[in-house]
A and B are shown apart, each in its own frame.
Chain A
C-alpha cells in the first residue's frame, strides 16, 4: 500500500530535550515536505526536499532541522524544542516535477506537545 509513515503519532516532552520525528514513504517520490498545523494559522511549510541531499526552507523553518540522506526518509529534528513548537505536524511527499506542482500525499500526522 502506498503510504507516508510518520513516527511517533503522539509525543509529550519537555523543553530542550532533542527529538526526531521520522517520515518514510514507499512511493519512490522525490519531493518531500514537512508542515505544521496550528489553529487559526492553517498548514505552514517548514522545510522541503526536492531530492536526496537537497533541502530548502519553507515559511517557518526556525527551530527545525531536516536531512535527506535517502530518498524514502525525511526526518524532522528539533534540537532544542520549545513550547511554541507544540503543534500538529504532517509529512508529505509527491512525484518530482518543476516545482511543487504535483499532488502531495500526507502522513497521518504527529501531535507534539512541548512542556
Chain B
C-alpha cells in the first residue's frame, strides 16, 4: 500500500505569516505531486503541481520537492484568513499502477486575523 503522510495539524498561523505544510510519500518512483485546497463542505481545488526536484513558485505559493528524501512541501507566504482550509497532498503511483493517485489525510490550516 502506497503511503502519503501529512503533518497532522491543525496548523494555526497569524495573518501575514508563512504557513508551511509538509508531505512525505513511500513510493520512491512517484513522478507527480499535487497540492489541493479544500474548504469545508466543498470539493478539492488545485493549488500547485510539481514534477521536478526544487522549488516552483506561483504567487504566494511555493511547492518544494525533494525526491531523494521523498518529501514535498507547500509554503504559503503572507497568509490570509481566506487561506484557512484543509490542504491535501496527492502523489501518483509508479510503474504499472501509475494511473493511481493517493491522497494524504490533509492538514487543517487556520489563519488568524
Contact = CB atoms under 8 A, between A and B. Distances in A.
A31 interface: yes
Interface in A27-81: 31, 33, 35, 40-45, 48, 50, 56, 58-59
User: Does more than half of chain B's interface fall in helix, strand or loop, or is it mixed?
Assistant: loop
Interface string B90-104: 101100001111111
Interface string B60-104: 000000000000000000000000000010101100001111111
Given A41-B105, A42-B103, A45-B101, A101 B32 contact: yes
Interface string A84-115: 00000010000000111111111111000000
Interface residues of B, number: 24
A103 B1 CA distance: 22
Nearest to B104: A42
A107 B42 CA distance: 9
A42 B45 contact: no
A44 B34 CA distance: 15
Given A43-B88, A102-B32, 11 more contacts: A42-B103, A59-B100, A90-B43, A90-B44, A99-B31, A99-B93, A100-B98, A101-B98, A103-B34, A106-B43, A106-B44
